[in-house]
Structure 1
Amino acid sequence: MGLPYSSRTLLSHGMVREVAQACDQADADTVVFVPTLTERQQRTLTTMLGRPAVSLSDILAAD
């Protein structure tokens, strides 16, 4: 049985599309994920969403 999400994105392909649409509607500059993202996940999501994808832990660590 396959995973309901992609390990490349932490989301299903359909959910990535939904998030991208929500970001477009909200005119979001960045997408923040609560789970820590790997570098590959960040790159993949940034490309797929058309805006930077970052982990909350990355933001908190920058303070």
Structure 2
Amino acid sequence: MDRPYSARTLMSTGKVREIADARTETRAAAVVFVNDLTGRQRTVLTDLLGCPALSP
């Protein structure tokens, strides 16, 4: 992990891009994260991924 993660997203920008690309390719309706996300992280990830970002 040569790049620091972002507190806004809980991961690096490259990983967010990778997830967004996979979501687009698979046409997933939502992305579910195992880690707890804050309300702000859910909002930011929902915007970046183009679909709901869910967590427990």
State the TM-score, normalizing by the size of structure 1.
0.82
Query: Residue 51 of structure 1 aligns to which amino acid in structure 2?
Result: C
Cα-to-partner distance string for 1:25-47 (whole Å, 9 max, x where unaligned): 11100000000000000000000
Alignment size in residue pairs: 54
Q: Partner of 2:41: helix, strand, or coil?
A: helix
Identify, as 1 or 2, the structure richer in helix: 1
In the alignment, structure 1 segments of 5+ residues that lack a partner are: 58-63
- What is the alpha-carbon root mean square deviation over aligned residues? 1.0
In structure 1, the residue matched to 2:16 is: 16
1:4 positional shift: 1.4
Larger Rg: 1
Equivalent residue number for residue 53 of structure 1:
53
Q: Provide the residue aligned with 2:35 in structure 1.
A: 35
Shift of 1:14: 0.7
